[in-house]
């Protein structure tokens, strides 16, 4: 595994300390969607291990090829692979960090400690049947990765770049339910882990997107005081 450089005391140009944030929640809870809308407002660098793995798969790298087997089966990619990948990414990071989909196990959370001081862990609370419906309705832009839902958008191309919308390889009902089970067994213990450190804030992720965004923004403003 690569060594990760300490990433503490990050400051924005106004001299205020940047927040380091984790978004926790089951697959399809809306972590990526909320991250996309709050990252600009709070100058956060969005670090999504799922997006990074999909980029590796698209580029046909050895890491991508080995990760694809795990992703398509709804399993977690081995932690040693994830830690090396995140370490490489953090070596280039310079702003406050928004982790989405990492850490996903207590082992990963321990690896993150001492590398980035976490200010808040936002858990998006959404039950299984809602996330399965969301995952089965999700479409993503094949070029820029923008996320859509067939429940709110009936176009076949991206509004931003015009590329076709596609279904993620792991977005079928069987894999979605498997991913939810893996989440309950391997990732949900992080809820207690971060609660015991006084960092956990739960947000109702079943609310309409705009309300979820507003609640997360209010939470960040409270923490940044
Ligand atoms: P990853 O890409 O991280 O997948 P995930 O955590 O399963 O999360 P999703 O991307 O499925 O959902 P999301 O919460 O971002 O929801 P979204 O905003 O898209 O990881 C994929 C795989 O990579 C893993 O299964 C694993 O194999 C591997 N992996 C990644 N990180 C790893 C790690 N650290 N360790 C080991 N393995 C790792 O929203 C979903 C849909 O709902 C969209 O259509 C959206 O439009 C809609 N929506 C969002 N919010 C709302 C709302 N409030 N109301 C209605 N619809 C909404």
Model pLDDT for residues 65-103, shown as the tens digit of each residue: 999 999 999 999 999 999 999 988 988 887 699 999 999
Q: Does the beta carbon of 82 lie inside 6 Å of ligand 1? A: yes
Q: What confidence score (pLDDT) does residue 93 get?
A: 82
Residue of minimum CA distance from atom 30 in ligand 1: 50
Phi, psi of 194 (to 5 degrees): -80, -30
Q: Does the beta carbon of 209 lie inside 6 Å of ligand 1? A: yes
Q: What confidence score (pLDDT) does residue 225 get?
A: 75
pTM recorded for the entire structure: 0.93
Averaged in consecutive runs of 10 residues, what is the pLDDT profile of the chain (225 residues)? 44 58 98 94 93 96 96 96 92 86 97 88 98 98 95 96 96 97 98 97 97 95 84
Q: Does the beta carbon of 102 lie inside 6 Å of ligand 1? A: yes
Please list the alpha-helical segments (H only) found in the chain: 31-38, 49-59, 62-72, 79-90, 106-112, 128-137, 173-182, 189-195, 209-224
Which of 30, 65, 111 has most ligand 1 atoms within 8 Å of its beta carbon, as the pocket-test mutant? 30
For residue 205, give the nearest of 32, 45, 44 by alpha carbon. Answer: 32
Q: Does the beta carbon of 28 lie inside 6 Å of ligand 1? A: yes
Atom of ligand 1 nearest to the CA of 100: 3
Indicate if 177 belongs to the active site.
no
Indicate if 197 belongs to the active site.
no
Q: How far apart are CA 119 and CA 131, in angstroms?
A: 27
Q: How far apart are CA 140 and CA 163, in angstroms?
A: 10
Q: Does the beta carbon of 70 lie inside 6 Å of ligand 1? A: yes
CA of 15 to the centre of ligand 1 (A): 33
User: What average pLDDT does the chain have?
Assistant: 91
CA of 31 to the centre of ligand 1 (A): 6
Q: What confidence score (pLDDT) does residue 116 get?
A: 86
DSSP-derived letter for residue 12 is: -
Indicate if 213 belongs to the active site.
no
Structure tokens at 216: 């997360």
């Amino acid at each position: 595994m690569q060594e990760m450089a300490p990433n503490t005391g990050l400051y924005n140009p106004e001299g205020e300390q940047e927040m380091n944030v984790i978004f926790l929640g089951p697959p399809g809870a809306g972590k990526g969607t909320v991250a996309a809308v709050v990252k600009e407002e709070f100058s956060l660098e969005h670090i999504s291990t799922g997006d990074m793995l999909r980029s590796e798969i698209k580029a046909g790298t050895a890491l991508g090829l080995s990760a694809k087997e795990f992703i398509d089966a709804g399993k977690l990619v081995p932690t040693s692979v994830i830690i090396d990948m995140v370490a490489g990414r953090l070596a280039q990071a310079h702003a406050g960090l928004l982790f989405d989909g990492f850490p996903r196990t207590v082992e990963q959370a321990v690896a993150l400690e001492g590398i980035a001081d976490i200010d808040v862990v936002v858990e998006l609370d959404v039950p299984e049947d809602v996330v399965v419906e969301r995952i089965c309705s999700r479409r993503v832009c094949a070029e820029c990765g923008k996320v859509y839902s067939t429940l709110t958008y009936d176009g076949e191309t991206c509004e931003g770049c015009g590329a076709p919308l596609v279904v993620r390889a792991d977005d079928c009902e069987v894999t979605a339910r498997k991913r939810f089970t893996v989440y309950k067994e391997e990732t949900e213990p992080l809820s207690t882990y971060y609660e015991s450190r006084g960092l956990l804030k739960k947000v109702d992720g079943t609310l309409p997107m705009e309300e979820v965004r507003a609640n997360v923004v209010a939470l960040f403003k409270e923490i940044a005081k």
